[in-house]
C-alpha cells in the first residue's frame, strides 16, 4: 500500500531531519530529499505537500540553492520554513531583506489574520527564530498572517494557492505551538489522513517480507544492538524459521548482554539463533595490543572470520538482512551505513556470505521509529531503549591492552553506573553513559592497606546525533553513590573520576 507522502526538500539547515521526524510523528510519511529535485521528479513522487527547510544561505548569495518556480504552480501545498520561507517570497516576487540585526532565540509573535495554519493556536505565543534575512513584502495574492515587532512578516500565505511561509522554526521544541502549526499544515492544508503508524508499518512489512522471502533462506548478523535486533525480529515475524541469525559474541559486550540476547531472541521469541562464542579467540588476538586503531582493525577482521566460518556451515542463502536505518541512508546522500556500520560492526560481511540479495527492512525509519517498531513487535524495553554501543565493544573503553582482569573490572563498574543511572530515573535523559578503565593506576587506601589500583572514569553525555555532545550534569549525589559502590564492590578499582569534556574537542568514547 502506498502511504500519503510529504516531500521535505533539504536546503541545508541544521534541523532538517528534525522536520522530517516531526512530520512522521504526526503520522504522515515523508522523505527528506535534496533541494535540487526536478519538477518532473517531484510530480512522480506525488506528494500531498512539500516542505522547504531552512538553510544557511541568503537568497542573494551567488551560490544559494534556488527552485524552479514551476514547483510553486503544481497545485501541491507548500510550506517554507526560514530560508524556505524567504525563498518562496523571493521566487514569487516578494521582497527579502537583510535585517539590521540577526534574530536568534525565543520571540513572541502574534497572528494578525486567521488561516488554516493558525487553527487552535493562541493569537500570541512563543516561537524560535534563527535568521538574518527576512521577508519585508509578500508576493501578490499573499497575506501577512503573523508578525513580531522586529519581523514584520513572520508567517504569510495564500489560502487559494495553499502556499505558506514561516520565518521561525516550528520543528524545535522552543516554538510553543510549532507542532500544532505543522499539524495544521499537514491536516488542514494538505488533507493528510494520518496513515503512517508503526502498527501499520509492521503489518505491511510482514506481508511484504512474507511475499518476498517466504520459503527462501535468510541470514542475519545480530550484534545485540537495537537496529539489527529489530530488523531480525521483523523478518522473523514474517518468515519464522527460514531466518537464521548469527550472533558473534566477541566477549567484549557489557555485563549480562550476551545472555540477554540469547534469552530474549532464542528462548522467548524462539528464533533460530546461533551464538558463536569467540571471546577467547578475540582476547588472544588482542593480547599485547594497546593502539586503539590496531584494536579496531583486529576486532573487525576477526569478526568477519568468525562470521564467515558460521556462514560456511550454513551454506548459500537467498537473502542477507541488514539493520540499515533512514539516517544512514540520507546523511551522506548515499548509503552511509556502508561507512559507519561496515567499518565498525559488520564490515565486509556481504563479501564473505554467499547470498543473492540484501534486505533492509528498516531503511525508511528514524531511530525512534525503529524503537517503536521494536515495542510493537513485543521486544522488552531494555532491548528497545538500549543506548548506542560501539561495535568493538568494551575494547575501546579499556585504555591500553585488553586483559581479562580489566574486562571484568570494567564490566562490574559499568554495571553499577548503569544501575544507579536507572535508579535515579535518568535513563531517557542521557544519550550515553558508561565506564572506562583508564590506563593509570594510582595509590589509594582501603581498610588499613595501601592499594595501587585502576582509575575508573565515568562518561555520560547528552547529544542528539552523537556528532556533538555535552557532558551530562548528573547530580552529585548520584555520582557519589556510583563512586562509593564501585570502590567498595569492584576489585581493582580505587579511584573514580568524572569526564567533563564536551565533543568537540573530545569524542564520546575514550578509545
Ligand atoms: P565518538 O567516540 O566518535 O562516537 O564521539 C560517536 C558515537 O559513535 C559510537 N561509536 C560507534 N558506533 N560502531 C558503532 O556502531 C563503532 O565502532 C563505534 N565507535 C563509536 C559511540 O558510542 C558514539 O555514540
> pLDDT grade, residue 352 (50/70/90)?
confident
What is the CA(509)–ligand 1 centre distance, in A?
Answer: 7
Name the pairing type of β-strands 493-498 and 449-462: parallel
What is the CA(475)–ligand 1 centre distance, in A?
Answer: 25
pLDDT of residue 332: 35
Ligand 1 pocket test, pick from 341, 508, 510 with the greatest ligand atom count within 8 Å of Cβ, gives 508
User: What confidence tens digit (pLDDT) does each residue in 200-243 have?
Assistant: 999 999 999 999 999 999 999 998 889 999 999 999 999 999 99
Residue nearest to atom 17 of ligand 1 (CA): 344
User: What confidence tens digit (pLDDT) does each residue in 247-275 have?
Assistant: 999 999 999 999 999 999 999 999 999 99
pLDDT of residue 464: 79
Using DSSP, state whether 232 is helix, strand or coil.
helix
User: What confidence tens digit (pLDDT) does each residue in 7-61 have?
Assistant: 999 999 888 889 999 999 999 999 999 999 999 999 999 999 999 999 999 999 9
C-alpha distance from residue 320 to each of 58, 213, 371, 461 (Å): 45, 11, 21, 34
User: What confidence tens digit (pLDDT) does each residue in 264-313 have?
Assistant: 999 999 999 999 999 999 999 999 999 999 999 999 999 999 999 999 99
Q: Which domains does the chain have, with CATH numbers?
A: 5-189 (3.40.50.880), 198-384 (3.40.50.620), 404-498 (3.30.300.10)
- Give 231's contacts (C-beta < 8 A, 6+ positions apart): 220, 321, 322, 323, 360, 361, 362
Task: Classify residue 143 as exposed, middle or buried by CB count within 10 Å of its CB (0-12, 13-18, 19+).
Answer: middle
Ligand 1 pocket test, pick from 367, 390, 470 with the greatest ligand atom count within 8 Å of Cβ, gives 390
Average pLDDT of the chain is 93
Catalytic residues: 82, 169, 171
> pLDDT grade, residue 1 (50/70/90)?
low
Ligand 1: lining residues by beta carbon, under 6 Å: 344-345, 388, 390-392, 432, 466, 503, 507-509
User: What confidence tens digit (pLDDT) does each residue in 451-496 have?
Assistant: 999 999 999 999 977 888 999 999 999 999 999 999 999 999 999 9
Ligand 1 pocket test, pick from 388, 396, 503 with the greatest ligand atom count within 8 Å of Cβ, gives 388
- Give 488's contacts (C-beta < 8 A, 6+ positions apart): none
| pLDDT for 339 beyond 80 | no
| Phi and psi, residue 108, nearest 5° | -90, 130
Confidence (pTM): 0.85
Percent of the chain with pLDDT over 70: 96
Residue nearest to atom 21 of ligand 1 (CA): 390
Residue nearest to atom 7 of ligand 1 (CA): 466
| pLDDT for 344 beyond 70 | no
Residue nearest to atom 19 of ligand 1 (CA): 390
Dihedral, 446, 448, 450, 451 alpha carbons, nearest 10: -30
82 vs 11: CA distance, rounded Å:
10
Q: What is the DSSP string of 335-358?
A: -GGGTHHIIIIITTHHHHS--SEE
What is the CA(179)–ligand 1 centre distance, in A?
Answer: 31
Q: What is the DSSP string of 45-95?
A: H--SEEEE---S--TTSTT-----GGGGGSS--EEEETHHHHHHHHHTT-E
Count Cβ atoms below 10 Å from residue 458 Cβ, excluding itself. 25
Amino acid at each position: 500500500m502506498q502511504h500519503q507522502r510529504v516531500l521535505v526538500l533539504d536546503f541545508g539547515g541544521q534541523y532538517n531531519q528534525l522536520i522530517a521526524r516531526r512530520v512522521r510523528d504526526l503520522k504522515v510519511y515523508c522523505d527528506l530529499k535534496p533541494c535540487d529535485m526536478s519538477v518532473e521528479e517531484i510530480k512522480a513522487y506525488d506528494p500531498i505537500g512539500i516542505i522547504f527547510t531552512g538553510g544557511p544561505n541568503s537568497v542573494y548569495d551567488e551560490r544559494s540553492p534556488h527552485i524552479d518556480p514551476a514547483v510553486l504552480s503544481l497545485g501541491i501545498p507548500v510550506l517554507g520554513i526560514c530560508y524556505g520561507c524567504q525563498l518562496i517570497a523571493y521566487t514569487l516576487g516578494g521582497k527579502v531583506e537583510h535585517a539590521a540585526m540577526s534574530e536568534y532565540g525565543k520571540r513572541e509573535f502574534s497572528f494578525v489574520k486567521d488561516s488554516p495554519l493558525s487553527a487552535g493556536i493562541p493569537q500570541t505565543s512563543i516561537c524560535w527564530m534563527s535568521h538574518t534575512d527576512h521577508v519585508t513584502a509578500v508576493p501578490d495574492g499573499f497575506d501577512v498572517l503573523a508578525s513580531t515587532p522586529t519581523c514584520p512578516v513572520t508567517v504569510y500565505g495564500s489560502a487559494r494557492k495553499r502556499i505558506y511561509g514561516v520565518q521561525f522554526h516550528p520543528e524545535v521544541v522552543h516554538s510553543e505551538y510549532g507542532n500544532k502549526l505543522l499539524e495544521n499544515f499537514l491536516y488542514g492544508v494538505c488533507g493528510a489522513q494520518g496513515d503512517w503508524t508503526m502498527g501499520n508499518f509492521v503489518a505491511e512489512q510482514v506481508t511484504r517480507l512474507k511475499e518476498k522471502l517466504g520459503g527462501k533462506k535468510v541470514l542475519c548478523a545480530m550484534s545485540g544492538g537495537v537496529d539489527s535486533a529489530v530488523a531480525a525480529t521483523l523478518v522473523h515475524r514474517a518468515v519464522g524459521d527460514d531466518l537464521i541469525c548469527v550472533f558473534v559474541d566477541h566477549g567484549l559486550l557489557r555485563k549480562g548482554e550476551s545472555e540477554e540476547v540469547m534469552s530474549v531472541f532464542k528462548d522467548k521469541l524462539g528464533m533460530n539463533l546461533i551464538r558463536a562464542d569467540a571471546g577467547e579467540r578475540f582476547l588472544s588476538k588482542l593480547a599485547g595490543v594497546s593502539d586503539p586503531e590496531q584494536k579496531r582493525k583486529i576486532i573487525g577482521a576477526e569478526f568477519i572470520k568468525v562470521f564467515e566460518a558460521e556462514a560456511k556451515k550454513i551454506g548459500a542463502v537467498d537473502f542477507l538482512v541488514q539493520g540499515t536505518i533512514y539516517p544512514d541512508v540520507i546523511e551522506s546522500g548515499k548509503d552511509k551505513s556502508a561507512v559507519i556500520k561496515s567499518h565498525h560492526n559488520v564490515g565486509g560481511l556481504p563479501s564473505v556470505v554467499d547470498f543473492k540479495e540484501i534486505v533492509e527492512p528498516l531503511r525508511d525509519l528514524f531511530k525512534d521509529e525503529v524503537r517503536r517498531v521494536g515495542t510493537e513487535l513485543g521486544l522488552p524495553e531494555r532491548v528497545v531503549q538500549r543506548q548506542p554501543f560501539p561495535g568493538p565493544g568494551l575494547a575501546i573503553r579499556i585504555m591500553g591492552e585488553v586483559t581479562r582482569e580489566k574486562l571484568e573490572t570494567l564490566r562490574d563498574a559499568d554495571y553499577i553506573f548503569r544501575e544507579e543511572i536507572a535508579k535515579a530515573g535518568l535513563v531517557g535523559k542521557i544519550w550515553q553513559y558508561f565506564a572506562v578503565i583508564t590506563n593509570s593506576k594510582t595509590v589509594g587506601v582501603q581498610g588499613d592497606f595501601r592499594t595501587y589500583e585502576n582509575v575508573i572514569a565515568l562518561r555520560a553525555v547528552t547529544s542528539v546525533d552523537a556528532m556533538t555532545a555535552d557532558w551530562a550534569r548528573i547530580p552529585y549525589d548520584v555520582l557519589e553513590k556510583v563512586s562509593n559502590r564501585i570502590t567498595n564492590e569492584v576489585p581493582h578499582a580505587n579511584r573514580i573520576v568524572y569526564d567533563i569534556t564536551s565533543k568537540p574537542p573530545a569524542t564520546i568514547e575514550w578509545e
